[in-house]
Amino acid sequence: MEITLNTPLTEFPGVGEVRAKKLEKLGLVRCADLISYFPRDYEDRRQVYSIRSAPLGQKVCISAMAAEHPRLSRIRKGLDLVKLKVVDQAGALHITFFNQGYVERALRAGEEYIFYGVVEEQGSRRTMVNPIFERVGKQNFTGCIVPVYPLTAGITNHLLCTLTQQAVAACAQDMPETLPRGVRLDHELAQAEFSYRNIHFPESFQALELARRRLTFEELFYLSAGLAMLKGRRGDVLGCAIPSRPMEEFLARLPFPLTGAQRRVMEEISRDMASGRPMNRLVQGDVGSGKTVVAAYAAWLAAGAGYQSALMAPTEVLAEQHFRSLSALLEPAGVRVGLLTGSITPAGKKKVRQALAAGEIDLIIGTHALLSQGVEFAKLGLMVADEQHRFGVAQRAALAAKGDSPHVLVMSATPIPRTLALIIYGDLDVSVIDELPPGRTPVETYVVREDKRARMYNFVRRLVGEGRQVYIICPAVEENTEGTMQNVEWEGDGPALDLKAVTTYAKKLQTEVFPDLRVDFLHGKMKPREKEAVMAAFAAGETQVLVSTTVIEVGVDVPNAALIIIENAERFGLSQLHQLRGRVGRGKHQSYCVLITNTRSVEAMQRLRTLASTADGFKISEEDLKLRGPGDFFGSRQHGLPQMKLADLAGDMRLLSEAQESARRLLMADPTLSQPENRPVLERVRTLFADTPDIFN
């Protein structure tokens, strides 16, 4: 069979319909997909040991002869054992294969094999369980560097190695060379064929590094080119020019002084909005840094020039909170503020929509309801998206389409390392509010083991006795009768057993631990009105202890809450823990964050101690990025950007800046990539941004 890049995997030996469906789960349908499916790690199997010299407890290759015919025994239904003794000049190794009956026919006495597995010692006997084996002289996966691929149920690494080996052998030379020759020479990058061969089956670790460098550069280069083209297209569009007004007029209305960082960002926004080009700015600020005031200033500027503004928040609770705080701030200045969320009555929604279309609302605050069809603006000039990592590019575009190239202001309380922000928000200008308002006391953070629970409950009682309130965060919603968790809302993998569940735990606390206090619970599966009632009771001080999932992560403001306890803290990412910690410390009282964990993982403990040692969200996010990578950093592709296959945005910063500079130079010479030698770059950029609507059409 002749294999080409378009050959379906069903035509490869050993791939039937069932296996093809499982491979499809990994995005593997044809030969080219296999070649572009990169390993996540590598095993160095080049060194071959004798039985006696092999180190214990780690995977190694041993060259030895089968001293006997393998013995197959059926212990019980579903359990077969094959036992085999192999020897070399220095000793004997006793090998056991579990449920691999075919081994009895595959291994022959007197033949030499390479066995790859973990050597253990039982008394004076050396043993190995379920090794990979190959005949000496007929080796594919021993005596070399072997790729380790991301897998799914029913697909083994051995199968992927075998299929990829066939694909690379037949088609690596056909993979198109899309990088312009000048770019390759300038950056001393390997050729495509060499790179695809060596990213899968490296001749050496030096060859692997050359291959990885070329393919990573390529990925970052196309991403940088695409984002630069987005930014360039934005620059071609005319927007509404909203004239500046003296900032002091606005500041005089505030009951508190602003930080220098807030003033700086407000000046940047004012310049953008007056420029005649649509603003596209991301404002990043740590929890409590005062981003809402900055958004209020932008809406005040827009209203002064006769334009409407829309602020989109990710949850109803947060939308309502913004509505209350911004109404109090802006209505005395003559800015009319409205609210539109899913839980408003149909009659209420109709009234708000009519007022909006008639130009009787200057600032509308809402959730995704603002994107719905019936929402029309008289003169939309500014769109504000709060918590951007929860809104993809497409949602941002949908709201912006309701006006004539309105200004866009994006706010995020998830601090992102600036280098990463340049990529994630490459089509936006980035402002950072890097000062906290004066008088905010840092939250004291402690990492606590399960055995200190009784002391922690005493601490809760003491704080409540002083008039404070407490959050307790759980990773799961409810427990079913089998003791496993339902509707689990945590980050990370692993079994859902032994996790604190909101509903069960809240009942236990109310009946057994704090019968004299009011304990309530909150989770994302509740109806909006129920959630609203629970939050209102907590905000009013009627509930002393609120047990919740991460639904309270974003923006809820209860100044009297002085303690947050996070159960199973190792289950959450660092940045998310930092967000949760930001729910307390908003009033004048000393506040505390207690991270409860039973983890034995050294890495997890290191993460939690990092959080306890600093309140700097940017430092925490750098650490989070190093530990978890950018994929996890945002959860499931919420940022709407292309997924990186190879590039590690934390570790490849130097390569990233090279790729950005190279893309910039190419686009200066050929802004639309229309020259024949640059057409392949344009095609790759289009493919990479295929999920982002109408960008390069």
400 and 317: one domain? yes
pLDDT for 370 equals: 83
Higher pLDDT, 531 or 199: 199
- pLDDT-derived band at 199, boundaries 50, 70, 90: very high
pLDDT at 677: 86
- 195-204 long-range contacts, CB within 8 A, separation 24+: 196/35, 196/168, 196/172, 197/168, 197/172, 199/38, 199/39, 199/646, 200/35, 200/38, 200/39, 200/147, 200/164, 200/165, 200/168, 201/144, 201/145, 201/147, 201/165, 201/168, 202/42, 202/145, 204/145
Mean pLDDT of the chain: 83
Give the pLDDT mean for 408-424.
69
Q: Clarify whether residues 347 and 419 are in a common domain.
A: yes
Domain identity same for 366 and 339: yes
* Of residues 35, 29, 59, 47, the one with CA closest to residue 200: 35
| Model pLDDT, residue 43 | 87
- pLDDT of res. 491: 33
pLDDT for 604-632, tens place per residue?
A: 888 888 889 887 777 777 776 666 554 44
Residue predicted with more confidence, 501 or 64? 64
> In the chain, what percentage of residues exceed pLDDT 90?
33
pLDDT for the residue 626? 64
Same domain (yes/no): 295, 385: yes
Residue 181 lies in a domain: no
Amino acid of residue 560: N
Flag the least confident range among 233-247, 328-342, 450-464, 646-660.
646-660
**Of the candidates 599, 614, 629, which is a domain's last residue?**
614
pLDDT tens-digit map of 95-113: 999 988 888 888 999 999 9
pLDDT exceeds 60 at position 88: yes
In a domain, 520, yes or no: yes
Same domain? For 251 and 395 the reply is yes
DSSP string covering 512-572: II-TTS-EEEE-TTS-HHHHHHHHHHHHTT--SEEEE-GGG-SS---TTEEEEEETTGGGS
pLDDT, residue 480, reads 42
Residue 627 lies in a domain: no
**pLDDT at residue 601 greater than cutoff 60:** yes
Instruction: Please determine, for residue 593, whether its predicted confidence score (pLDDT) is greater than 80.
Output: yes
Mean pLDDT of 397-411: 78
**Residue 327 identity:** S
Confidence at residue 545, expressed as pLDDT on a 0 to 100 scale:
95
User: Does 657 have pLDDT greater than 70?
Assistant: yes
620 is a domain residue = no
Question: What is the number of domains present in the chain?
Answer: 3
Q: Which of 614, 631, 660 is the last residue of a domain?
A: 614
DSSP sequence for 333-381: GT--EEEE-TTS-HHHHHHHHHHHHTT--SEEEESGGGGSTT---SSEE
- In this prediction, residue 424 carries a pLDDT of 59
The pLDDT, as a whole number, for residue 450 is 87
Q: Which tokens hold the place of 573?
A: 């990412």
Query: From CA 110, how far away is CA 296, in angstroms rounded?
Result: 82
d(CA 536, CA 543): 9
Q: Which of 272-286, 362-376, 473-487, 558-572 shows the lowest mean pLDDT across its residues?
A: 473-487
Shared-domain flag, residues 541 and 560: yes
Q: What is the pLDDT of residues 129-143, one digit of tens each?
A: 999 898 998 888 888
Give the number of residues written for the chain.
Answer: 697
Residue 645, domain member (yes or no): no
Domain that holds residue 66: 47-143
HSE value, Cβ hemisphere, 13 Å, CA-based, for 391: 30
**Per-residue model confidence as pLDDT tens digits over 21-69:** 889 888 899 998 899 899 988 988 888 899 988 999 888 999 999 999 9
Task: Report the 10 Å Cβ neighbour count for 205.
Answer: 13
Amino acid 411: pLDDT: 84
Bridge partners of 608? none
Q: Please tell me the distance from the alpha carbon of residue 162 to that of residue 19, in angstroms, as a whole number.
A: 14
Question: Among 555, 583, 614, where does a domain finish?
Answer: 614
What's the token pair of residue 143?
A: 């005596």
99 found inside a domain: yes
Domain at 83, CATH number: 2.40.50.140
Question: How does residue 197 score in pLDDT terms, banded at 50, 70 and 90?
Answer: very high
For residues 167 and 34, the answer to whether their CB atoms sit within 8 Å is yes
Domain for residue 29, yes or no?
A: no
Per-residue buried b or exposed e for 309-331, using 16+ beta carbons within 10 Å of the residue's own CB: bbbbbbbbbbbbbbbeebbebbe
State the number of CA atoms in the 13 A half-sphere of 376 facing the CB. 6
pTM of structure? 0.61
Question: Which element (helix H / strand E) includes 610?
Answer: helix 602-613
**604: amino acid identity, one letter:** A
**Band (321; pLDDT cuts 50, 70, 90):** confident
- Contact residues for 265 (Cβ-Cβ < 8 A; gap 6+): 283, 294, 431, 432, 433
The pLDDT score that the predictor gives to residue 651 is 58
Is residue 6 very low, low, confident or very high in pLDDT (cuts 50, 70, 90)?
Answer: confident
Task: Measure CA 303 to chain center.
Answer: 36
Q: 611 or 592: which carries more pLDDT confidence?
A: 592
The reply to whether 452 and 428 lie within a common domain is: no
> Are 429 and 481 in a shared domain?
no
- Please name the residue ranges forming H helices in 26-122: 31-35, 103-106
Say if residue 454 is in the same domain as residue 423: no
495 pLDDT tier (thresholds 50, 70, 90): very low
Confidence of residue 649 (pLDDT cuts 50, 70, 90): low
Please check whether residues 392 and 467 belong to one and the same domain. no
Which of 79-83, 270-274, 313-317, 394-398 has the lowest average pLDDT? 394-398
Residue 188 belongs to some domain of the structure: no
Q: What is the CATH number of the domain that holds 371?
A: 3.40.50.300
- Answer positive or negative: Cα dihedral of 417, 418, 422, 427: positive
The pLDDT of residue 359 is above 90 = yes
Task: Report how far residue 267's alpha carbon sits from residue 328's, in angstroms, rounded to the nearest whole number.
Answer: 23
Mean pLDDT of 477-496: 40
Closest C-alpha to 92, from 121, 71, 59, 116 = 121
Residue 638: its pLDDT value, please?
Answer: 38
Do 290 and 359 lie in one domain? The reply is yes
Q: pLDDT at position 468, please?
A: 94
Give which of 641, 647, 663 is closest to 425, Cα–Cα.
641
Q: Distance between CA atoms of 435 and 290, rounded to whole angstroms?
A: 9
507 and 416 share a domain? no
pLDDT in tens, 388-402: 544 555 665 666 677
